[in-house]
Structure 1
């Protein structure tokens, strides 16, 4: 045996070198684990912030689009034009108040051509805008010049911040009569953002914070403003007397550090808000996630190093024992094989644990993908508020017919009239399928947006509409006259939506007939079909009381209805649906002669 390899000569130095190497390896491993853990924690937090930012923008966009529709609609309202030309202004106060309550709008008010408020939804409040002069506001001046404007500002009377959305009101010759203003406040949006965690704020193009989950950050700036910009803001009173001081943020590479309350490191995501000049920033704390991930990885590395170094030490000791016991070579060999088997089993266990962790990570990735898909679906759902009223309006009609047929079926069952009961139940099944088509259409919108046009059988669409209104027609003792329609005649539309238009027009005709004290001769309601080479004309006519020219002209005006409980939206929805088919919907009528509605559709190839 070589004495230089004896424990008495070199064993101590070998173990000292081994201990030094183990300490270095431990240090390098823990440092590397900490660095990897920090990067993984930051990346995971960034993904969460990106998803939260997407949802936050969806919530903000939904509120903005809802509020933007109001000024454009109200600018076309005849009552608004009448108030600007000497009409009843208090009636407009009441109308504005009702609309503001229904749409959850902060304030709706009307400025005349000189910038003076003549009607407002808050006319009866201590902070009423009526009588105030807003000619100095940019949103008023820009609307007069360009037709519409948007400006985020601090209210000079209410002292509450909000987005002022304006539209010019003009007469028939295009002359400006005044400006309609809708003020939108975003307290509910900021409250919804708070549920996403972290800090969210929105800044305009100059870096001034407009909205924030941190109230103290409002009207602070992302970067110092030059004197000219500050002077312009002061002159316009856009943000009142706000100090416009910088945000308490410091940048360190990929992280943002907050000072003061909520201090610490944060991951920052920034994204532009479409259709505005704003940007939305999300700050998500990352310190705790970094510490947790570093601790987990360091524990794993330490355990792996302990196992590995223990195995290395064991091998080293075996090597020394083998050198000392050459005469027991066979026994030493057997012992070494036994030790190797134990080590192999330990490594197999470590490998199994590693596979389990890999599987868990794969499942986590799948859950993350599912969450992203749900967030994307929520972004599309944010716009559903704009069509919910119309869909609910259309579903109510087949629901009413469904209830009538169900009650008839129960009556027939009680009378043991099997054939009539089966007929009524068959119609119930058809109506439930129709409601399913309508809700499938709505779900399809939430998933993928609107469906493309397709060839639709006109005969089937008319038959479906008559089935829905069968009970109402029988109760009113009305038998419609229907022109013969070829089963092969098809138009470009969407089947369910074309049925909805026909049902709406036929129900209006039935309700008009029911108001007559004495009915004329049949037919009371008629459906006419005229085929042309490239289009099809469908007419729904009634012999009701009719309408004069002014009433006919107002049929497609929003919020104007002759029905006591009408919303004034039914015909507007029908007109929009027909327009989406590439067709037109027009109306005609005379007092005492009834009304007729003409649908022009493209003929399918």
Structure 2
């Protein structure tokens, strides 16, 4: 009988330890998954930023008249000038190659024209990025270079002439910087395309492997396209495959051979996220979990064993209570006291947790209040800078009102009511002018809760121009308003959008303080599904060293500046889906505000 009890106790102990380990592993796995998703989101953000930086370059170059002229008349001097221009632009962009193909797919100019492996003189008509761009205007294709043998993403745009397509401009970008950053994380991170082929990432020897085996027919087609050169397209060293037959991701994998500093057999947690605006691209992150899961299970099992041991000791003392009544009572009292202490500690811990939660909520509320106060402070700062000019605009009609009022009285004395009526009408118009100015100042300075709705873009621009108009005249700044007609409605908060325009116009006027023939240019265009407002000046421009810090809080190049105007403007625009960007300009500075359009009836 005793041996049966011993066997049952051992089985119960083993079951409890196994259950505790399984529970701890499951809980640790959820925590690790949350950490992995945060890391994957950071990597995805870095990748998206790099793609967004380069995506617009081919579209801008395709509209360049000098490039179009070189394709229409490919004289040696014109092509050499185009080579030098592409070389300069590529050097400014960073690790990239720009080149131009004529309508037959022949490379006529390239930024690497001086290099031994220059693209000039090569026929790329077989490349999908050429064929697709000639057919559909835009194309994106990742492949291994046939000349440079360096992989990259090819972004292409068709160049149209007066009589049809003239060729294609192509931008090839590499991802060595991202791959180096991912390698420093110590976690395998890589991107696959729609056919589950690894395009880029860490470790490097996983490039051009597949998440699950390809069919022989598909493998032959991929190799024939030369997209990945002679890569064998072997499966990734993971078990099971990264995705199953339905392309659903496998959450927990095991390495079948050592890689990325991890031993063979190491277990990794797999998370993935889609890459925006890249058809079929997905970012994968493999987080090592073997050590963490083992440690969590061991800790839980040790705690369970400790609890079971305590329970066993309590049972043994209970079995001996007839002979040790007093000792048992003392043990019971001690145990109850310990339970009360633990319960009190748990209650205090819960109270502290609730207090911390309340404090965090209050802190978040204070943060939102401070953000609103910062926007309001910026608004009042701008108001103080324009009020002197506005006061001049008010003083002029006030003086005129006094004159017209005196004249009206004199005309009435002379018995000329018609002339008096004309003077009174003029006074009414002048008061309406003063009312418009003060109403704009009052509306601009009012602190109110943001309301995102359909906003007349022209109203916001005209309101900002009214506020800075006096300073424009005082500085002798010429305003070139390029709006050809009514601008579309946009999704925004009217007063905060006006505040952004006042900020940008004020910055332009500050930059033009010492200019000989100061000029501010304003234009509105619709491109890429967005309404784009551009404000430019012909001042000294933005120092290249300062450009990368333009949107850093408290960074300023002016002695009296605070360094918050552009930061606040960018944050205001982000509230209703807009963006603020500093553009490259041949002279002076140029900023572009991109807003979501609101269609009629929306």
Which bin holds the TM-score, normalised by the shorter protein? 0.5 to 0.7
Q: Distance in 2 between matches of 1:265 and 1:51?
A: 19
Q: Secondary structure at the match of 1:514?
A: coil
Q: In structure 2, what is the equivalent of residue 146 of structure 1?
A: 136
Relative to structure 1, the CA distance from residue 351 to residue 497 in structure 2 (aligned partners, 3 Å threshold; closer, same or farther) is closer
Q: Distance in 2 between matches of 1:141 and 1:18?
A: 79
Query: Which segment is superposed worse, 301-310 or 245-254?
Result: 245-254
Structure 2 residues not aligned, in runs of 5+: 242-249, 365-377, 389-443, 481-492, 523-534, 538-581
Q: Give the drift of 1:288.
A: 0.5
Q: Distance in 2 between matches of 1:312 and 1:514?
A: 96
Q: Distance in 2 between matches of 1:245 and 1:185?
A: 23
Q: How much is the aligned-residue C-alpha RMSD, in angstroms?
A: 4.7
| Contact 1:67/1:105 (8 A) holds in 2 | no
Q: Give the drift of 1:201.
A: 1.5
Q: Distance in 2 between matches of 1:513 and 1:161?
A: 49
Q: Secondary structure at the match of 1:228?
A: helix
1:69 maps to which of 38, 48, 56: 56
The one-character-per-residue Cα deviations of 1:485-538 (angstroms, maximum 9, x if unpaired) are xxxxxx9571123325655887899999638xxxxxxxx9999xxxxxxxxxxx
Question: Does 2:115 match 1:125?
Answer: yes
Question: Does 2:346 match 1:344?
Answer: no
| Contact 2:183/2:203 (8 A) holds in 1 | no
2:66 maps to which of 50, 74, 79: 79
| Contact 1:164/1:184 (8 A) holds in 2 | yes
Q: Distance in 2 between matches of 1:188 and 1:453?
A: 41
Relative to structure 1, the CA distance from residue 108 to residue 502 in structure 2 (aligned partners, 3 Å threshold; closer, same or farther) is same
2:86 maps to which of 89, 93, 96: 96
Q: In structure 1, what is the equivalent of residue 127 of structure 2?
A: 137
Q: In structure 2, what is the equivalent of residue 432 of structure 1?
A: none
Structure 1 residues not aligned, in runs of 5+: 1-12, 323-331, 374-394, 406-436, 438-443, 481-490, 516-523, 528-539, 543-557, 584-601
Q: In structure 1, what is the equivalent of residue 319 of structure 2?
A: 316
Q: In structure 2, what is the equivalent of residue 53 of structure 1?
A: 40
Q: In structure 2, what is the equivalent of residue 228 of structure 1?
A: 217
Q: Secondary structure at the match of 2:320?
A: helix
Q: In structure 2, what is the equivalent of residue 267 of structure 1?
A: 269
Q: In structure 2, what is the equivalent of residue 167 of structure 1?
A: 157
Q: Which has the higher contact order (CA 8 A, sep 6+)?
A: 1
The one-character-per-residue Cα deviations of 1:128-163 (angstroms, maximum 9, x if unpaired) are 111111111111011111111111100111111001
2:254 maps to which of 257, 271, 277: 257
**Based on CA coordinates, which of the two structures has the bigger radius of gyration?**
1
| Contact 2:208/2:233 (8 A) holds in 1 | yes
The one-character-per-residue Cα deviations of 1:431-480 (angstroms, maximum 9, x if unpaired) are xxxxxx9xxxxxx9xxx99997489677863354257668xx45x69999
Q: Distance in 2 between matches of 1:281 and 1:526?
A: 46
Query: Which segment is superposed worse, 147-156 or 55-64?
Result: 55-64
The one-character-per-residue Cα deviations of 1:314-371 (angstroms, maximum 9, x if unpaired) are 111113x17xxxxxxxxx4x655433212211323444566688789999999999xx
| 1:243-254 alignment runs, 5 A limit | 243-251=232-240, 254=251
TM-score between the two structures when normalised by the length of structure 2: 0.62
Query: Which segment is superposed worse, 19-28 or 115-124?
Result: 19-28
Q: Distance in 2 between matches of 1:232 and 1:459?
A: 59
Q: In structure 1, what is the equivalent of residue 97 of structure 2?
A: 107
TM-score between the two structures when normalised by the length of structure 1: 0.61
Q: Distance in 2 between matches of 1:462 and 1:508?
A: 17
The one-character-per-residue Cα deviations of 1:93-132 (angstroms, maximum 9, x if unpaired) are 2222222222224101100111111111111222211111
Q: In structure 1, what is the equivalent of residue 436 of structure 2?
A: none
Relative to structure 1, the CA distance from residue 21 to residue 368 in structure 2 (aligned partners, 3 Å threshold; closer, same or farther) is farther
Q: In structure 2, what is the equivalent of residue 6 of structure 1?
A: none
| 1:178-197 alignment runs, 5 A limit | 178-197=167-186
Q: In structure 1, what is the equivalent of residue 28 of structure 2?
A: 41
Q: Distance in 2 between matches of 1:162 and 1:85?
A: 29
Relative to structure 1, the CA distance from residue 283 to residue 25 in structure 2 (aligned partners, 3 Å threshold; closer, same or farther) is same
Q: Give the drift of 1:17.
A: 7.4
1:210 maps to which of 187, 194, 199: 199
| 1:579-594 alignment runs, 5 A limit | none
Q: Distance in 2 between matches of 1:368 and 1:280?
A: 33
| 1:386-405 alignment runs, 5 A limit | none
Q: Distance in 1 between matches of 2:221 and 2:22?
A: 48
| Contact 1:34/1:295 (8 A) holds in 2 | yes
| Contact 1:465/1:500 (8 A) holds in 2 | no
| Contact 1:492/1:581 (8 A) holds in 2 | no
Relative to structure 1, the CA distance from residue 19 to residue 477 in structure 2 (aligned partners, 3 Å threshold; closer, same or farther) is closer
Q: Secondary structure at the match of 1:318?
A: coil
Relative to structure 1, the CA distance from residue 459 to residue 164 in structure 2 (aligned partners, 3 Å threshold; closer, same or farther) is closer
Relative to structure 1, the CA distance from residue 79 to residue 367 in structure 2 (aligned partners, 3 Å threshold; closer, same or farther) is farther
Relative to structure 1, the CA distance from residue 25 to residue 507 in structure 2 (aligned partners, 3 Å threshold; closer, same or farther) is closer
Question: Does 2:283 match 1:286?
Answer: no
| Contact 2:68/2:166 (8 A) holds in 1 | yes
| Contact 1:22/1:309 (8 A) holds in 2 | no
Q: Give the drift of 1:172.
A: 3.2
Q: Secondary structure at the match of 2:195?
A: coil
Q: Distance in 2 between matches of 1:46 and 1:449?
A: 37
Q: In structure 2, what is the equivalent of residue 488 of structure 1?
A: none
Q: Secondary structure at the match of 1:496?
A: helix
Q: Give the drift of 1:200.
A: 1.1
Q: In structure 2, what is the equivalent of residue 430 of structure 1?
A: none
Relative to structure 1, the CA distance from residue 340 to residue 509 in structure 2 (aligned partners, 3 Å threshold; closer, same or farther) is closer
Q: Distance in 2 between matches of 1:213 and 1:368?
A: 38
Q: In structure 2, what is the equivalent of residue 487 of structure 1?
A: none
